[in-house]
Structure 1
Amino acid sequence: MCDDLDGYFETALSLVKIAGNLISEHVGGCKSYEVKECDIDLVTVVDKKVEATLIEGISKKYPTHKFIGEESVADGQRCVLTDEPTWIIDPVDGTMNFVHGFPHSCISIGLLVNKESVIGIVYNPMLQQLFTAQKGKGAFLNGQQIHVSQIKELRKALIASEAGTSRDEERRNVLLKNIEMIVTKAHGLRFLGSAALNMSMVALGGADANFEFGIHAWDIAAGDIIVREAGGVVIDPAGGPFDILSRRVLCASTPELAHELSKSLAQFYPERD
């Protein structure tokens, strides 16, 4: 399998760049969209075209590979993760941003083999930000190697998170409680509107930690290995091992910061993927 990773990576990267053109055509936003589960959970025809481009292109070269795609799951496909090579795809992470023309949306694609992340690509075509990682080879932004910060204390940390695409009252109350905690204890708080880009910012060292409840496997599959290969840690927000299907994530520059943040967060446990 390791001998094939370079080929898998190059195939996915070429398709991601092609699919990125579908996003960059809409610099001013994409005003035509559909509502999925609630009024802030959106999908556009671009989401569907990007996902189809990636799945069809990879399947043509690697017909035995499996897929978990956001829009495929939304259309009724089951979210099943096996030990087989499985590509987990968010065609437009940050659809709300994309609809409004806020230039923080991206293609996020990760490959898991034996349920372990081995390839991650996060591409924001609007700003020409290409984050990549392969297992054991480091993490990169536009070909330049990147590393997490060395921040170990919450009081010195810039934290990223998201409001998400659900209006669930319990989840919202937990989010507001955590916002209050962070603006009281941390250096600052940022919401970019994309889980994959938030995690990439941690890998870059621009943010020191990121957490979110209610995200999905496709939001974080690529970010997981990008953060790890940049020297960071990815865990469950309560401090346990990371589970990609749990819809919960905390990543940080250092174990010390991850531990302190996990002990400070109010917790929310959504239904699993």
Structure 2
Amino acid sequence: MIDIPGLYRIAVEVAQQAEQAFINGIGARPALLKDAGDFATDVDLEIEQLVRTKLVELTGIPVYGEEYGALDCTLDQPMWVVDPVDGTANFAAGNPMCSILMSLVVNRRPVVGITSLPLTRQRFGAYDSSPLFINDQPQPALVERPEIACHVGFSSVSSRSNSQFPGLMRHGFLAELTKTYLRPRITGSVGVDLGFTAAGIFAGAVSFSPHLWDNAAGVVLAQAAGALVTDLHGDPWQIDAPGVVLGTPRAHATILETMHTVRTQFTHEDLSQEFDT
């Protein structure tokens, strides 16, 4: 029997250790080019090594990290999933919209989630059947607050050519969202978007990332807060889903309706032009 609350507490302790390294390293320059416009800093590598070592030492559960991958583990067994610096471009520029993401996946479902924003001194956390915690304090469930939390997180309008929601469609989606009651905010960090939505700072968020390390922690947080969580088509979210939509009922519905509108507007010719450029 896995002690989920106990593992959550261990993860919080490890996150606290990583936060100081994160703060000390702000403004680090690119050290490893991974793809066009995508890079890691020495701090990404340092924090992942720190978190990986501590989690394995304290729990015996292997780690799947963005920078070093999965070592001797698969998604069919319990596994920690770590993004040491989510929003690395922000981090390198000194922009505080960046975070440490940690989650625990058991039976192909995330059951622990931590999103830490060390530069703003915010740590969002939750585990299976818990409330959302902000800086270790339990929070009430989300409520609709259209007069306040009408922002929607939208981490990036750029995409790789093989994305199921490529750049042209993202541009159209962003334009259509501005016609709704929601106010798009481009943070540059999926973790920040999902965490802010769980906390009620944003009414909703959409992630086009196919990576589990980007989405898993935020899914746990949002579910704990009472947000709706689906994939980009409105179906139940799975760990291999190429993205996630979450938010209050009204925001979630608005995001999906807007997405559907944009999909129907774009022809195959439009998308072929995207892939040819």
Q: Normalization by structure 2: what TM-score?
A: 0.85
Aligned-pair CA distance for 1:183: 0.8
Q: Deviations over 1:113-145 (max 9, x none)?
A: 111221111111111111110111100111233
1:204 aligns with one of 199, 224, 235:
199
**2:130–2:224 CA contact under 8 A, matched in 1:** yes
Q: Aligned partners of 1:8, 1:168: CA distance in 2, in Å?
A: 38
**1:70–1:90 CA contact under 8 A, matched in 2:** yes
Q: Aligned partners of 1:60, 1:165: CA distance in 2, in Å?
A: 38
Aligned-pair CA distance for 1:151: 5.2
Task: Look up the equivalent residue of 2:105 and give its one-letter code.
Answer: L
Runs (5+) with no aligned partner, structure 1: 269-273
1:37 aligns with one of 35, 38, 44:
35
1:53 aligns with one of 50, 53, 69:
50
Matched, 1:239 2:230: no
Matched, 1:67 2:66: no
- 1:129-144 equivalence runs, <5 A: 129-144=122-137
Match of residue 262 from structure 1: 256
1:93 aligns with one of 76, 86, 103:
86
Q: Aligned partners of 1:180, 1:114: CA distance in 2, in Å?
A: 38
Match of residue 178 from structure 2: 183
Match of residue 117 from structure 1: 110
Matched, 1:161 2:161: no
Q: Deviations over 1:57-95 (max 9, x none)?
A: 1111222x232210123xx8699411x211111110010
**2:64–2:81 CA contact under 8 A, matched in 1:** yes
Match of residue 75 from structure 2: 81
Q: Aligned partners of 2:73, 2:255: CA distance in 1, in Å?
A: 29
Task: Look up the equivalent residue of 1:12 and give its one-letter code.
Answer: A
How many residue pairs were aligned?
Answer: 258
Q: Deviations over 1:141-185 (max 9, x none)?
A: 1123334332589xx832111116745397111110101100112
Sequence identity (%):
26
Q: Aligned partners of 2:74, 2:237: CA distance in 1, in Å?
A: 17
Match of residue 11 from structure 1: 10
Q: 1:133 to 1:187 in 2, by over 3 A?
A: same
2:96 aligns with one of 103, 110, 119:
103
**1:148–1:227 CA contact under 8 A, matched in 2:** no
Q: Aligned partners of 1:41, 1:229: CA distance in 2, in Å?
A: 31
- Relative to structure 2, which stretch is displaced further, 157-166 or 129-138? 157-166
> Alpha carbon RMSD of aligned pairs, Å?
2.4
Question: Residue 120 of structure 1 aligns to a residue in which SS?
Answer: strand
Match of residue 271 from structure 1: none
Task: Look up the equivalent residue of 1:81 and give its one-letter code.
Answer: L
Q: Normalization by structure 1: what TM-score?
A: 0.86
Q: Which runs of 4+ in 1 moved over 6 A?
A: 76-79
Task: Look up the equivalent residue of 1:217 and give its one-letter code.
Answer: L
Runs (5+) with no aligned partner, structure 2: 267-277
**1:133–1:139 CA contact under 8 A, matched in 2:** yes
Q: Aligned partners of 1:226, 1:66: CA distance in 2, in Å?
A: 22
**1:213–1:248 CA contact under 8 A, matched in 2:** yes
**2:198–2:227 CA contact under 8 A, matched in 1:** yes
Question: Residue 184 of structure 1 aligns to a residue in which SS?
Answer: coil
Q: 1:164 to 1:183 in 2, by over 3 A?
A: closer
